[in-house]
Amino acid sequence: MKLKFDGREKLMKPLQEAFREQKIAYFSMEIGLVNEIPTYSGGLGVLAGDTIKSSADLKLPLVAVTLLSKRGYFRQEITEEGKQMEHLVEWEPSKIMELLSTETKVKIQKREVSIKAWLYNVQSLTGGVVPILFLDTDVEGNLPEDKEITSFLYGGDERYRLKQEIVLGIGGARMLEALGLSIRKYHMNEGHSSLLTLELLKKYRMDIDRVRELCIFTTHTPVEAGHDKFSYDLVQEIMGEIVPLEALKKFGGHAERLNMTRLALNLSEFVNGVAKRHKDVSRALFPGYEIHSITNGIHSYTWTSQSFRELYDKYMPGWANEPELLVRVGGIPDEEIWHAHMEAKRVLIDYVNKMTNIGMDYDTLTLGFARRATGYKRTNLLFSDLEKLKKINKKGKMQIIFAGKAHPKDELGKRLIQEIFGYIRKLRDAIKIVYLEDYDMGLAARLIPGVDVWLNTPLRPLEASGTSGMKAAHNGVINFSVLDGWWVEGCVEGVTGWAIGPHPDEQLSTDEAKIRELDDLYNKLEYIIIPTFYQKRDEWIRMMEDSIGKIAYYFNSHRMMRRYVTEAYL
Ligand SMILES: *Cc1c(COP(=O)(O)O)cnc(C)c1O
């Protein structure tokens, strides 16, 4: 995908054209589009970016709304002891986006706060374009503290977060209105933007049915504690009364706090989880609501490495805009699959050896694990039994690559990184293991395609979907994962990859499940994965092909967007 931002005309034209048709407005607190725009922290943002890219490819009438996050998330440095250091990311929106002259306002703490918007067009080679509005409160006349509202992604305290959500939801809806765009649906990607429902209630004079018809809500969080909640006192103080408090409580929950997920659930006609398993979990969490599922996907072209792009171009031309074609992977000779993989592996191993002095090689079985460093992702599970790991490594050598940032306030996540550094030291003489700094989209695009096995060991049921395994599959990298999120649908044991632990239908306690998980983790490594990799290369390549032909052809954001269109947007 070519992203163009040369000149005002190219930027403005799509927006002008947008006036002619009714748009789907897609709201997301974070959007991960390209490495140069650091307005994302992880999977949620990358999913939003992939949603937008596929929409542009498919020429869907979408306009996206997000916050500018002028100071980005953060750049991660890790000391030799494994301590995470956080640095500001400097980027200059004016170099890649166009400032629009239209402004709007929201009321925060009884003050009028002005909001401006930067326009960035995602341009597809198909000719489709999706404009993104990056909202920015750094407007002259705003108080210094108000200017900072759109500075830090997931920064500050809950007051700061509420202000951000007012700007995103209410400010975003008003900005669309001020630009004269006509909106046919409002799609909330997670509950951060659900205050927009209040703006719509106000606009349509409390016509609840009308508002519900307009709203679509995608939930991403499978635990109660993960949903944003604000005390009604705080809401009254910061936001005032957009709608009468009694009405707000009716939709946002009668307990003392406004639950952003409930607000969206109550005022959206279509609600979905991001995998079938996640739908079941969400229904249990919120009984009484009709919750559908549209399983996530990734933007195939973005996440396919150069060598596989060339291979697919040769054997399945048109695959990037029609990823279903990947089902025909069987027509590619095995040697060429292996060759493309070794090319991606070389790129990664060269990078690892350049960034560290570990001295990894191209032929050793390489495991990868990279994602946000946070408790439920259990980055440390593989190290539960170090002696066992050493013993397994004697059956066939392994090397392991880790990466991932911890949220600056997630002390557990930071300790997890330190813990991994400890294991790396302890195993130094036996197994080569590195933890790469500053995991972002650029590193993900290099890391995931370059390993042989992609490992994922989340604590069930906390992985709502997960998407990095889909990126792996697009590159013939075989998944070895806990049966949670998308993998419950993607895993055919021994065909598309391997499962770690029990199927969700088995009702086990967390402790019982963990025993099974560790058994699978170590036994499958020792008795299946290592022997297959080193002694049955044909079988290995068949599984690589099945990852492409049975996973990638389906778990892509083109299929996902077609589902949103037919099930939610139309
Ligand atoms: C794809 C991606 C994620 C999501 O990974 P999961 O393993 O699904 O959590 C997070 N961060 C980055 C930078 C990514 O590219």
pLDDT range class, residue 226, cuts 50, 70, 90: confident
DSSP string across 304-373: S-HHHHHHHHHHSTTGGG-GGGGGGGGGS-HHHHHHHHHHHHHHHHHHHHHHSS----SSSEEEEEES--
SS3 content of the chain, % helix, strand, coil (to 5): 45, 20, 35
Average pLDDT, integer, range 143-164: 96
CATH 3.40.50.2000 matches 300-552: yes
Kindly report the backbone phi and psi dihedral angles of residue 223, in degrees, each rounded to the nearest multiple of 5, phi listed first: -125, 145
What is each CA distance from 116 to 27, 45, 68, 142, in whole angstroms?
Answer: 16, 21, 10, 11
Look at ligand 1, atom 7, and give the residue with the nearest C-alpha. Answer: 468
Look at ligand 1, atom 1, and give the residue with the nearest C-alpha. Answer: 468
Which ligand 1 atom sits nearest the alpha carbon of residue 440? 13
pLDDT of amino acid 10: 66
Kindly report the backbone phi and psi dihedral angles of residue 87, in degrees, each rounded to the nearest multiple of 5, phi listed first: -120, 145
What is each CA distance from 90 to 3, 42, 152, 261, in whole angstroms?
Answer: 21, 18, 12, 32
C-alpha 142/C-alpha 56 separation (Å) is 35
pLDDT of amino acid 510: 92
**pLDDT tens per residue, range 94-111:** 999 999 999 999 999 999
Average pLDDT, integer, range 432-446: 98
What residues does ligand 1 touch, defined as CB less than 6 Å away?
A: 42-43, 46, 371, 439-441, 444, 466-468, 471
Look at ligand 1, atom 5, and give the residue with the nearest C-alpha. Answer: 468
Look at ligand 1, atom 8, and give the residue with the nearest C-alpha. Answer: 466
Centre of ligand 1 to C-alpha 230, Å, is 28
Which ligand 1 atom sits nearest the alpha carbon of residue 467? 8
Kindly report the backbone phi and psi dihedral angles of residue 189, in degrees, each rounded to the nearest multiple of 5, phi listed first: -90, 95
Burial 127-136 (b: 16+ CB within 10 A, else e): ebbbbbbbbb
Look at ligand 1, atom 4, and give the residue with the nearest C-alpha. Answer: 43
Centre of ligand 1 to C-alpha 440, Å, is 8
**pLDDT tens per residue, range 343-353:** 999 999 999 99
Average pLDDT, integer, range 180-204: 97
Average pLDDT, integer, range 158-177: 97
**pLDDT tens per residue, range 390-426:** 999 999 999 999 999 999 999 999 999 999 999 999 9
DSSP string across 279-302: HHHHHHHSTTS--EE----B-HHH
pLDDT range class, residue 4, cuts 50, 70, 90: very low
Centre of ligand 1 to C-alpha 468, Å, is 5
C-alpha 522/C-alpha 228 separation (Å) is 37
pLDDT of amino acid 90: 82
Mean pLDDT, the chain, integer = 95
Which ligand 1 atom sits nearest the alpha carbon of residue 465? 8
When comparing pLDDT for 417 and 225, which is higher? 417
C-alpha 472/C-alpha 76 separation (Å) is 23
pLDDT of amino acid 9: 65
CA angle 454, 460, 465 (to 5 degrees): 60
> Looking at the chain, how many residues does it have?
570
CATH number of 15-297: 3.40.50.2000
Residue ranges covered by each domain of the chain: 15-297, 300-552
Average pLDDT, integer, range 121-127: 95
C-alpha 552/C-alpha 311 separation (Å) is 15
Confidence (pTM): 0.96
Q: Is the pLDDT of residue 385 over 50?
A: yes
Which ligand 1 atom sits nearest the alpha carbon of residue 445? 15
When comparing pLDDT for 224 and 491, which is higher? 491
Give me the amino acid identity at 440: D
Kindly report the backbone phi and psi dihedral angles of residue 275, in degrees, each rounded to the nearest multiple of 5, phi listed first: -165, 160
Centre of ligand 1 to C-alpha 50, Å, is 12
Centre of ligand 1 to C-alpha 404, Å, is 9
Centre of ligand 1 to C-alpha 220, Å, is 14
Average pLDDT, integer, range 143-160: 96
Which ligand 1 atom sits nearest the alpha carbon of residue 439? 13
**pLDDT tens per residue, range 529-549:** 999 999 999 999 999 999 999
Give me the amino acid identity at 341: H
Encoded tokens for 540? 């290995």
Asked if 379 and 463 touch (Cβ cutoff 8 Å), the reply is no
Look at ligand 1, atom 11, and give the residue with the nearest C-alpha. Answer: 42
C-alpha 442/C-alpha 447 separation (Å) is 9
C-alpha 18/C-alpha 2 separation (Å) is 20
The DSSP output letter for 570 is -
Average pLDDT, integer, range 204-223: 96
Pocket test for ligand 1, best of 467, 471, 482, 557 (most atoms within 8 A of CB): 467
pLDDT of amino acid 71: 92
Judged on CB neighbours under 10 Å (0-12, 13-18, 19+), 26 is: buried
Average pLDDT, integer, range 337-365: 98
Asked if 550 and 542 touch (Cβ cutoff 8 Å), the reply is no
Centre of ligand 1 to C-alpha 179, Å, is 33
Cis peptide leading into residue 93 (ω within 30°): no
Q: Is the pLDDT of residue 2 over 60?
A: no
Pocket test for ligand 1, best of 74, 76, 300, 371 (most atoms within 8 A of CB): 371
Centre of ligand 1 to C-alpha 47, Å, is 9
C-alpha 374/C-alpha 564 separation (Å) is 30
